[in-house]
Amino acid sequence: MAIRDCILGLEPLKLLSPERDDRKLNCRLNKGIQMNILIAVAHQLELDPFIARFSVEHSKNNGHGKEYQLQHEGHHIRLIRTGIGMDSAKASLEHAVSSQEKSPELILNFGTCGGIHPDRQIDDLVLGTQVICDKPECPPIDLVSEEQDNFRDYLTSQKTPFFEGSVFSTERAIANERDRYAIYSGTKAQVVDMEGYGLAEIAMKHELPLVMMKSVSDNADEFVMKDFLVNVQDAMTALSDHLFGFLNFLSATPKGVRD
């Protein structure tokens, strides 16, 4: 596995949030005007805690998986299950974005992941600042947006411990110490997932901000599946609670206060 080849010699791409009218943003945050948010999760087990946490207006099969319509604090929320893997994530998110007359203002990816950094432990929260692909021809994508700053501010305001760093995306599960060490030594990634890079590609294509929040459910070793099944519910319940709090934070706090 030539992990180091994935990043050497490639200039990172930057996923930037589009220009915004600050007066309109202040009005929206102060008055709770509806915000259009798209949430992408990979697995049904990752999706279920969100369904339990929020009121579901309706659900449907959109041709690429299950989609749910949620409401909270005036925000218009679509929750999609992308399926596992980068190709599935790309196809599902592309359909979700392009099939609607109004594009989302924000894409959130909440999901579980494997710990790659030697210090990462199960239940650690990691805010992705960059996504790295296991394909050498794909440059890293930097996640830079006002919305990510807002999420960081929210976590800090709640005194929630979290880490920041790169997410390494691969098409296959990492399930041994050798590959885990190779990925970390070559990329210094915090965690590994199987969908993040595909989601970032679509967000960049449509010039949409993407916030990627991961909860470590396993150590990317031979116990990966067992640990995932044991820890996924608690991990995603915590992330659904953070979504609930983040939406309240956005609605209640003027932009000028956060700056």
In a domain, 197, yes or no: yes
Q: What is the pLDDT of residue 194?
A: 95
- Taking only the tens place, the pLDDT of each residue in 87-118 is 999 999 999 999 887 889 999 999 999 999 99
Q: What is the pLDDT of residue 70?
A: 85
**Which ranges of 83-223 would DSSP assign to H, the alpha helix?**
86-98, 146-157, 177-187, 196-205
- Taking only the tens place, the pLDDT of each residue in 10-59 is 455 555 444 444 433 443 334 444 578 999 999 988 989 888 888 788 88
In a domain, 187, yes or no: yes
What's the structural domain count of the chain?
A: 1
Q: What is the pLDDT of residue 235?
A: 92
In a domain, 259, yes or no: no
Nearest to 80 by CA among 111, 41, 109: 41
Q: Please give the residue range of the domain that contains residue 170.
A: 3-254
Q: What is the CATH number of the domain that holds 106?
A: 3.40.50.1580
What would you measure as the largest C-alpha separation in the chain, in angstroms?
A: 52
20-29: Cβ within 8 A, 24+ apart: 20/146, 22/255, 25/255, 26/254, 26/255, 26/256, 29/250, 29/251, 29/253, 29/254, 29/255
- Taking only the tens place, the pLDDT of each residue in 103-158 is 899 999 999 999 999 999 999 999 999 999 999 889 999 999 999 999 999 999 99
Q: Which DSSP letter does residue 119 get?
A: T
Contacts of 109 (CB under 8 A, 6+ apart): 39, 40, 41, 195, 196, 199, 210, 211, 212, 213
Angle in degrees, 0-180, between the axes of helices 224-252 and 146-157, rounded to the nearest 10: 100
Q: Write down the pTM of the prediction.
A: 0.85
Neighbours of 182 (CB within 10 A): 17
What CA dihedral angle connects 66, 168, 193 and 91, to 10 degrees?
Answer: 20
Neighbours of 242 (CB within 10 A): 21
